[in-house]
Structure formats: C-alpha cells, structure tokens
Amino acid sequence: MKFILSGIAITFAVVVLIVSLPFLLPKKSIPHFDDETLRQMALSRDIKPTPVTDKQLLMAVDNPDNPMTPEKIALGKQLFFDPLLSKDKTINCASCHILEQGGDDNLPTAIGYHGRANPKHLNSPTVLNAALAQSQFWDGRAKDVEEQAGGPIQAPFEMNMTPEEVVSRLQADQGYVAAFDEVFGQEGITFENVRKAIGAYERTLLTHGAFDRFLEGDDDAISPAAKRGLALFIVKGCKGCHTGMSVGGQSIQKFPVRNYVEDYIGLLFEPDVNLKKSPFPFVNTGGFLGRNDNLRFRVPILRNISKTAPYFHNGSVKELKEVVRIMSKYQVGDEFNRTQIDDMVEFLKTLDGELVEYKIGKENQVSG
C-alpha cells in the first residue's frame, strides 16, 4: 500500500513539475525595434496597408471572373440590404453582417429565418475585408466571396430560399430586371449573377485605420504599447498564420496545435465535468470540429477584431484578452503574461478601421 501511494505521489510530483516548468524557466525578453524596422518586419510578411484608391482596390481584390463595375457594385449593395432574398422577407445579408459593428452580428451563434440558430452554433465571421481572404466560412469551404454569398441565402436556418425562388422574386421586380440587364446583358437574372453582384459589392468593404497609417510611414499612428504588441506578434510567430493584408484568412490551420497535461488533471477527480470533453480550451458548444472534423479552421481575419466579440467558431469566449491568452498558450506554445497580453490587445485595437469610400469609375474598370 505504501509503495502504491509512494508511486502515485512521485507521478503527481512529476506531472506538477512538467506543468510548472514553462512558468519556472525565465522567458526571453522581446527585443526593442525602431519604428522603421518594425514596419519592414510587418511588410515582409505581406501585411500591407489596405487600398485607399480605386486603382489600388482593383489591384488588390478584383476578380477576373467577376470584374468590378460601378453598376454591378450598386446592384450588389441593393441586394445585400434587401430582405426580398429571405423566405419571410424579414432578414437580409446585413442582418448578420452589420457593417457599423465590425461586419458581424456580435452574437455567439448566427440567428436566421424564424429565429433559427445555426445548428452547429457557428457565429458569423466578419464580412469586412473578407474579399482579401483566400477562402470563406469557418472551414474554408468556399473559395471566394461570390461563392460564399450563395450559402446563407439557401441555408434553411438562415434565409431559407432556393435559387429558383430568388430568381422568381427578382424577375417580378421591374427595377431588378432592368438593373440585371444593364449589368449582365442577355444573361439577366440568374442565381449565379446574384452571387456575383453581391460579391462585387463585398469586395469594396475594406477598412483602413491606425495600423495602416503606421505601415504607410506615420510613426505616431499607434502607441508605444501597440508597437510592443506588434513586436510580440512578429517575434512569437503570430504573423506566421495571421498574415496578408487582411492579417488572417490566408490559410487553413489546426486549432489547437498543443495540449497540456494540466488540461487532463481534472479527469482524475471529476471526469464528468472536465473540459476535455472538448478538444478546445473551452466548451465545444455545437460540436463543430472544423474541416473534415480534423480541427482545421480558416485562420480568422484580425482586422476589426476588437469589434467582433464573442470569439472563436462558437462564440465561447467573450473577452479579447482571454483570446490572446488562449492563442499564446495553445498555438504559440508560450503563454503570455499580463503585460504581454495587454500590449497585444493594444496592437489588435489598431487593426480597427473605417470603411473606405471607393468611387470606382468606368476608366478604372478591368476588362473581362
């Protein structure tokens, strides 16, 4: 009996030591970088400022399979805000993508037709800057905003329409008939053209803010704390996944990358309540496991992240500071201390921005 208890005690001590080791070892301090070095380090990962002119916009997001024109964008905007595309004519694309509130709905899970919630408890990703991403939806199943635009319209728990119903309703509206004829010629109203028009409009929904001004050369655009957060973001490797002009959305990655012994200790005492029922460091409400159930998710876009709470695919985390802690621990493998978390949050807030008012003229159109 004494031997058994001694073995358990030794095992427990080893477990505690392993769990505590990262906290006992001294952490390397983050080097101080001057503003220009910090700026170039960001730019080297293709983290560039968002466009502020029509020409820059077209270079960044125009789709050769769906060239942007003023008329197509105007039609797409009208469709984006029109409840005609929903079964009971009460909701529209903007219902879940509120442009003034970060481009999402700030709910844990999307709510659609007749108050139905997403069956997997997925919340709404932001539509702002989504055109800069390489794929859409939490599992990245749609290649672009044009393909994505058709999904919510047809989902029974969102707008609950069929392509045929959409076309029929629009054909009954002479204003839409004329607009589609002007934009798409003889093709007129088709569901594909509805997607194309909405996609063209969504490609204009880019934001520009303090971080962009810093990248453009304004050293005073962001605070010293934000600069420390940016240095942390770069040195610790966050930029490896959150890259590109959108600061995310460029790849599909596993989450979480790491697990810890401490996550399982509770199983020894309260196996029925331990969070390791979930593969995530939070309760997996809805049971969604990413692409092919392999814990692989499209890397979230960090622009306007401070405005898009609650966080993660099922909205389980309310505070941005807790998101930073989780990501530093389970993705980076080096849990940030309180000061580092505060600095990182200050940097992330600089990614907030205002919608750029583009005025795409015919002289800027890209030929089909």
Q: Are 163 and 338 in contact (CB under 8 A)?
A: no
Question: In the block, which residue shows the tokens 């309310």?
Answer: 318
Catalytic residue among 146, 158, 202, 335: 158
Distances (CA, A) of 216 to 43, 45, 219, 230, 242: 10, 15, 9, 15, 19
Q: Are 67 and 59 in contact (CB under 8 A)?
A: no
Q: Are 145 and 131 in contact (CB under 8 A)?
A: yes
The type of residue at 29 is S
For residue 158, indicate whether it is catalytic. Answer: yes
The neighbouring-strand residues paired with 253 are: 297
For residue 212, the number of C-alpha atoms closer than 13 Å in the C-beta half-sphere is 19
Q: Are 199 and 145 in contact (CB under 8 A)?
A: yes
Terminal Cα distance for the chain, rounded: 81
Question: In the block, which residue shows the tokens 């060239």?
Answer: 67
The residues that are catalytic are 158
